[in-house]
Amino acid sequence: MMAFASPPPRNLWQEARPVTGGETMRCSPILHRSPLSLGRRLLLAAHQAADEQDIRLAGHFLALLELELAHRPGADRHALRDAMILMHEALWSLRQPAGEPLPA
């Protein structure tokens, strides 16, 4: 039976990262972000669908986000709720025919 050698430990302080202008930087570590919450991922998916003019799919993502906010309280619940309201307003404006005035 063959034994596989484990790779050597990575030294994050000495790995090169590309920077603007083709230079490399060897003094800062590669930082890992914490994973996004489900609510944040649903909001990002709704934004991407709206950017791609798929209004129906963006609406479905926002409906899922509403369910997520109703059943799972989180630390960023208020910020997500505000962002969801703004996204609903953006979708509403995308659904309106061009040149139609907004209601007063």
* Predicted pLDDT at 41: 94
* Predicted pLDDT at 37: 87
Mean pLDDT, residues 18-24: 57
- pLDDT, tens digit (0-9, with 9 covering 90-100), for 25-81: 555 556 666 788 889 999 999 999 999 999 999 999 999 999 999 887 777 888 899
Distance from C-alpha of 98 to C-alpha of 2, rounded to nearest angstrom:
68
Question: Is 87 within 8 Å of 43 (Cβ atoms)?
Answer: yes
Stated pTM of the model:
0.61
Report phi then psi at 71, rounded to 5.
-110, -15
Mean pLDDT, residues 15-26: 55
pLDDT band at 10 (very low <50, low <70, confident <90, very high): low
Report phi then psi at 35, rounded to 5.
-65, 145
* Predicted pLDDT at 34: 73
Residue 28 DSSP label: S
Domain boundaries of the chain, sorted by first residue: 38-95
* Predicted pLDDT at 101: 67
